[in-house]
Amino acid sequence: MPVTDSETKNDSFHNEESLLSEHSGSLFVFTGNVALGGNASQSSTNWGGDANRAIDGNRNAFYGNLSCTHTNTDDEPWWSLDLFTAVPVLCIKITNRQDCCWQRLRNIEIRVGLFPATQNDKNQVCGNIVGLRAGETKVISCGGMLGRFINIHKKEKGILTLCECEVYAHNKIL
């Protein structure tokens, strides 16, 4: 009977739920890279480095392989990802350029929240990047911070290049 099936399923979930009591009695599943379903923009574009190259699912860090972004020399360049729906963000993985210019990825602030880059001050700070090695992929933990937008802001004049920005979240299923 359907009722019996439902009860069995609920019992099964309840057992797992008790193992995850730190999540307010709810059960979560981890997602894949949700950045792949979003849309990216940036303060400006040069050298053909479209903002969506950072969400093409490819960490290749050699600029000539057409998978890294590139802004102009802006006062404070930014890159922004719209996920179209708010999700609890567990972590963000950012990959730096490798063939040259890796030192440009410094003095970076990452904010996650419900507001686009134009209102980024209203979002919470998830983390900062002081600097990364050539081609390095850095994991920034956001602890489940709720966000539709991932905004990466370089807090000095220069060029912003990202070779990949991955976003991992969890979905509440019970």
User: Applying CB under 5 A, which residues contact Ca ion?
Assistant: 56, 58, 67, 164
**Least CB distance to Ca ion at residue 122 (A):** 28
- Dihedral sign for Cα atoms in the order 160, 70, 113, 60: negative
**Least CB distance to Ca ion at residue 58 (A):** 4
13 C-beta neighbours (distance < 10 Å), count: 13
Say if residues 76 and 153 touch (Cβ distance below 8 Å).
Answer: yes
The tokens for 161 are 């290049």
The tokens for 115 are 């507001």
**For Ca ion, which is the closer residue by CB, 91 or 146?**
91
**For Ca ion, which is the closer residue by CB, 66 or 174?**
66
**For Ca ion, which is the closer residue by CB, 123 or 154?**
154
**For Ca ion, which is the closer residue by CB, 44 or 58?**
58
Closest chain position to Ca ion (CB): 67
SS3 113: strand
